[in-house]
Structure 1
Amino acid sequence: MKQQFSEALTIAGTDSGGGAGIEADIKTMQACQTFSTNVVVGVTAQNTLGVQGQYPLPRGIVNEQFKSVLANFAIKAAKTGALFDAEHVSMVADNLAHYQLQNVVVDPVMVAKGGAHLLTEQGIKTLKEKLLPQADVVTPNLPEAEILAGQKINSESDVKQAAIKIQQLGSPNVIIKGGHAQDATVSDYVRLADGTDYWLTSPRINTERTHGTGDTLSAAIVAYLAQGADLKTAINKAHKYLADIIQHPLYIGNGHGPLNHGSWKDDNDEI
């Protein structure tokens, strides 16, 4: 019997080290039983120690990739990752609108794990103005949420307030990832369009093998949305996926190592 895969799209930059970016997205979607197409917005020279170079691609190449993918694949969900600058944020937003893509997850990648900036100040402004209004879900980490909301986050009440402010930028559903906190438990805050909110928690694993966690979570959400899962189920299953694979590290590289995307065994438990 032929295996049927749902089809999704990742729109981001590459990671030559294989741990984050489009490479992480493809591995994640495959592990979650979804076929991943991709639009490469830029290329990075990158490894577990940091980003050594970044090179956004010309508009024509980006637009042609969108045209090719959408002419041939039944894309049920899409995500964005590192988009580099205002010009590339704008061209991605224009393509999302032109092709009327559904189930759009925006991972507002601003700074790489090693500290390199992956989105300019003007790019952040354009993301707020043109991209977030087209997002169904946005998944900032704590530092990104502070930037988007324009406030400091020092408490659970701050997290909730920031999520409401980010909703007001246009994305009806917000997940603020708590991985940058220092608590013994990692707590992600979910606020949905209907006002429902809840926390997803998992034990904090003492490891540096966390390169690409943000890309991985958003890609897993997209994978499950492409399969037809409702948003809450997709979010919860993606959280479970990330919490599981982080416990099975790959000892690769000398810095912030990659996740073990293929270690996931989906037991289809109820979420």
Structure 2
Amino acid sequence: MISLTIAGSDSGGGAGIQADIKTFQELGVFGTTVITALTDQNTKGVHGVFKVTPQFVQQQLSSVLEDFSIKSIKTGMLYSAEIIEAAAAVLREQKIPLVLDPVMIAKGGEKLLQNSAVEALIEQLLPLTTICTPNIPEAEVLTGMSIKDSKDMERAARSILQMGSDWVVIKGGHTGEKDAVDRVYGHDAAFTMTTPRKKTDHTHGTGCTFSAAITANIAKGYTIPEAIIEAKKFVHLAISYPLFIGSGKGPTNHFAFNQQKGVCEVVVNEA
């Protein structure tokens, strides 16, 4: 079982390529990578970005796909329209499930996707996407909608489905709800996933980890709903037992799931 992540490198190890590889490993999937950017960051924030050329992104992608039997792919930080177009040109020729994590802004507020790249993301990648996993601010950018409640989340998800994605998971981490409620929509199905909300500042890399867990679960043969629900369990435990490292907002604990730190029950209801 082999998965591929196309994303940026986090020198602090909590998010990006590093989070993806750790998640793949913990879930028993071999990880391959295409690096789109190098970031200078730690738990205090992102201090610099060095963009990889679109040509070299495409070269990495072609090398991986021609040699490995890739079962699933995810994208994270893509940074520029040119990188998106280069990746899409190769991915368009594949029939491999694609998880699109539309990474736009770091926890500290630094931009990880140029404004000019949003249109390319919508036009070039969303039509190729199996599952799109935006948080609320990302869903607002993709749709141009203001999201204030669950009805707004559904409208935004339906809009993203119309853009080409087969499934959409709008994550509820930015709501004021007592519980952490993610809303999942397909063309013929919809459900919510609920876990208790954990109050912690150590949430660096949660979005990357969630989308990577979905990607790994698809490689393992799970159905799309199963892959999403099991990924919710993985990331909930990672948040529940954070690693207290660094002096800023620390990373989630990718080891918690296999260390059996606790049992996570995800309440699933039809939406």
- Structure 1-normalised TM-score? 0.94
SS in structure 2 at match of 1:118 = coil
The CA distance in 2 between the partners of 1:21 and 1:62, in whole Å, is 15
1:145-184, aligned counterparts within 5 Å? 145-184=139-178
Question: Equivalent of 2:186, from 192, 195, 204?
Answer: 192
Deviation of the 1:29 alpha carbon: 0.8
Cα pair 2:202 2:243 within 8 Å, conserved: yes
Q: Report the CA distance between 1:176 and its aligned residue.
A: 0.2
CA contact (8 A) 2:167 2:186 kept: yes
Please point out which of 5, 8, 30 is paired with 1:13. 8
Deviation, 1:182, is 2.3
* Residue equivalent to 2:53: 58
In the alignment, the residues of structure 1 paired with residue 35 and residue 229 of structure 2 have an alpha-carbon distance, to the nearest angstrom, of: 28
Q: Distance in 2 between matches of 1:18 and 1:211?
A: 10
Aligned to 2:82: 87
Identify the residue that residue 224 of structure 1 maps to in structure 2: 217
Matches within 5 A, 1:251-270: 251-265=244-258
The answer for unaligned runs of 5 or more in structure 1 is 1-5
Q: Among 108, 117, 122, which residue is 1:123 paired with?
A: 117
Partners of 1:31 and 1:94 lie apart in 2 by: 31
The CA deviation string for residues 14-44 of structure 1, in whole angstroms up to 9 with x for no partner, is: 0000000000000011111111100001111
| Residue 270 (structure 1) shift | 10
Q: Is the 8 A contact 2:161 2:186 kept in 1?
A: no
Distance 2:48 2:72 in 1: 30
CA RMSD of superposed structures (Å): 1.7
Letter in 2 for 1:167: L
Name the SS for the 2:228 alignment partner: helix
Aligned to 2:106: 112
- SS state at 1:88 partner: helix
| 1:75–1:269 distance in 2 versus 1, CA, 3 Å | farther
Is this contact kept in 2: 1:108–1:144, CA < 8 A? yes
Which of these residues, 226, 231, 234, is aligned with residue 233 of structure 1? Answer: 226
Question: Quick one: which amino acid aligns to residue 148 of structure 1?
Answer: L
**What is the rounded CA distance, in whole Å, between the counterparts of 1:266 and 1:72 in structure 2?**
33
Query: Matches of 2:75 and 2:221 in 1, distance apart?
Result: 19
Contact kept? 2:233, 2:264, Cα under 8 Å: no
- The answer to whether the 8 Å contact 2:237/2:264 transfers is no
Q: Which aligned segments of 4 or more residues in structure 1 are displaced greater than 4 angstroms? A: 266-271
CA apart distance, 1:269: 10
Distance 1:167 1:89 in 2: 19
1:217-262 CA-to-partner distances (Å, cap 9, x unmatched) read 0000000001111101000000011111211110011111101101
TM-aligned CA deviation for residue 67 of structure 1? 2.0
State the match for 1:135 in structure 2: 129
Q: How far apart are the structure 1 equivalents of 2:250 and 2:265?
A: 31
1:3 maps to none
Cα distance in 2, alignment partners of residues 69 and 22 from structure 1: 15
Displacement of 1:172 in angstroms is 1.6
Whole-angstrom distance in 2 between the partners of 1:193 and 1:218: 20
Contact 1:78/1:101 (<8 A) preserved: no
The yes-or-no answer on 1:72 pairing with 2:73 is: no
Give the letter for the 2:199 counterpart: N
Post-superposition CA distance 1:57-110 (Å, at most 9, x none): 112321221122112211000000001111111111112113x04110000000
1:31 aligns with 2:26: yes
